Amino acid sequence: MQLHKPVISRPARGAALAFAGALLVSCADGAARGSSGAQNAKSESSATESFDAQRAWKHLEALVALGPRPAGSGASAATVDYLDKELRALGLAPVRESFVARGTPIGDLPMCNLYVDLPAKGPQADKAPLVIVGSHFDTKRFDQFRFVGANDGGSSTAVLLELARVLAAGGPRSVAYRLLFIDGEEAIRAHWQDPDNRYGSRHHAEQLRTSGLVARTKAFVLLDLVGDKDLRLERDQYSDAWLYECFAAPARAAGLGKHVDGRREPIADDHLSFLEIGVPSVDLIDFSYGPGNSWWHSPEDTLDKCSPQSLGVIGTIVLAGLPNVERRVLGK
């Protein structure tokens, strides 16, 4: 991901992205429910399991143990194998979405997204709204130092794996979920310069568009950089404010307010790929990592800067917020 200057227009949404003030627009559901938000979070999505931070942490340790995992590398393939194995162990059926990223700064690169679908319930299940929760799993390619991406690439992927366990255990819901593990988010070049970034999410968004599935896709929730011991989610200015509120409101109500409502910044990340095809999206990201963000994209991005507690906090916030998202996309 990358910090953008807040003077940008995007093709699909353009002026609709009014930055100033618009961020105070609340998620009607989340805000209106106020202090009961956390309770309500138990309704439709009532998970039979709660988020297990230690399980997530073990995933993170396993991912980091694979070493640097840049797109197109052997360690990247090993990462996909790990995700596939862990999801299958949950009784799920992950789908590999292989593709070749053409014309990257280092030539054509094989990449592979992986996703698992959790179907909705009922006879109209194949028409139910789809909510996608995603994380990139690649780490940025650095030649000058060893970059293992404990926080950047690792933490959110570990959390998404644990979310898969909890959401699958909760059984079918009124909406369908797709848990999307995204390859190739990072720029190949040192600096973020379009189109050298978001390879996997752009590919997946294009598949949604060409298959027509985009019409059912009502929200995209991105997790990124969620393992920092000092966890506080920014208020990304590209994200849909109502969708941010779906998570921030129950977080505040549950006493986790210090972990949300961080700085307002325009952050370029995988959610832009979904915004570009008209899918409401939010980036749940803590883009303040170490003094002056100095641990980001540095050899300092290691396990000791992260904590199981933070993985637990973000897991709890996501699980508390998804029922609000469900109500919104169902028009309730």
Contact footprint for Zn ion (CB under 5 A): 140, 152
Closer of 152 and 183 to Zn ion (Cβ): 152
User: Contact at 8 Å (CB) between 228 and 289?
Assistant: yes
Of 39, 52, 43, give the one whose Cα is nearest residue 253.
39
Q: Quote the DSSP letter at residue 5.
A: P
Q: Write down the least CB distance from residue 168 to Zn ion, Å.
A: 28
User: Contact at 8 Å (CB) between 273 and 204?
Assistant: yes
Q: Write down the least CB distance from residue 310 to Zn ion, Å.
A: 17
* Helices assigned H by DSSP within the chain: 28-33, 37-40, 53-65, 74-89, 156-169, 199-211, 241-253, 271-275, 308-329
Q: Write down the least CB distance from residue 152 to Zn ion, Å.
A: 4
Closer of 29 and 152 to Zn ion (Cβ): 152
Q: Write down the least CB distance from residue 92 to Zn ion, Å.
A: 27
CA distance 147 to 159: 20
Token couple for 18? 């009014």
CA distance 67 to 86: 18
Q: Tally Cβ neighbours within 10 Å of residue 25.
A: 14
Closer of 2 and 26 to Zn ion (Cβ): 2
Chain residue whose CB lies nearest Zn ion: 152
* Residue recorded with tokens 């190949």: 188
Radius of gyration of the chain (CA): 18
Closer of 285 and 320 to Zn ion (Cβ): 285
Q: Write down the least CB distance from residue 2 to Zn ion, Å.
A: 8
* Burial class of residue 232, CB neighbours in 10 A (0-12, 13-18, 19+): middle
Closer of 274 and 287 to Zn ion (Cβ): 287
Query: What stretches of 119-201 adopt beta strand conformation (E)?
Result: 130-136, 176-182
Q: Write down the least CB distance from residue 299 to Zn ion, Å.
A: 13
Q: Write down the least CB distance from residue 284 to Zn ion, Å.
A: 15
Q: Write down the least CB distance from residue 16 to Zn ion, Å.
A: 27
Closer of 26 and 298 to Zn ion (Cβ): 298
Q: What angle do CA 312, 293, 67 make, to 5 degrees?
A: 65
- For the CA atoms of 14, 18, 24, 26, the dihedral, rounded to the nearest 10 degrees, stands at -30
Closer of 141 and 165 to Zn ion (Cβ): 141
Closer of 140 and 235 to Zn ion (Cβ): 140
